[in-house]
Amino acid sequence: MAEITKEQLELQIKEVLRNIYDPEIPVNIYELGLIYEIKISDDFEVNILMTLTSPNCPVAESMPAEVKDSIAELSEVKSCDLELTFEPPWDQEMLSDEAKLELGFL
């Protein structure tokens, strides 16, 4: 089996993230701008820095766990750690153009 590069793994991770949706907004969490950073070590240990639309978000407990578990299921991922932050706070400026179009903001 061919070795995967960190860049290829990052693409796979982004694809996983594009299949996780905020239950209140019909857009995936990647296009919403909730993922601040994806770091992949040389050993394929993944660190995700993400936020939520608000600290009082009803999925504050379940969504980070879903993200972490979904990424950890990728066979190339050795481990996945997730850090939840509210700095900077999320706002609509973080939406991708695709998300803005989907939500009728463009």
**Structural domains in the chain?**
6-102 (3.30.300.130)
Q: Which residues have CB under 8 Å from 58's CB, separation 6+?
A: 23, 24
Model confidence at 75: pLDDT above 50: yes
Backbone angles phi, psi at 36, to 5 degrees: -85, -35
pTM of this prediction exceeds 0.85: yes
Instruction: Determine which of 3-7, 37-41, 47-51, 78-82 has the lowest per-residue pLDDT on average.
Output: 3-7
Nearest to residue 69, comparing CAs of 58, 61, 79, 57?
79
Whether the per-residue pLDDT at 105 is higher than 50: the answer is yes
Query: How would residue 2 be classed by pLDDT, with cut points 50, 70 and 90?
Result: low
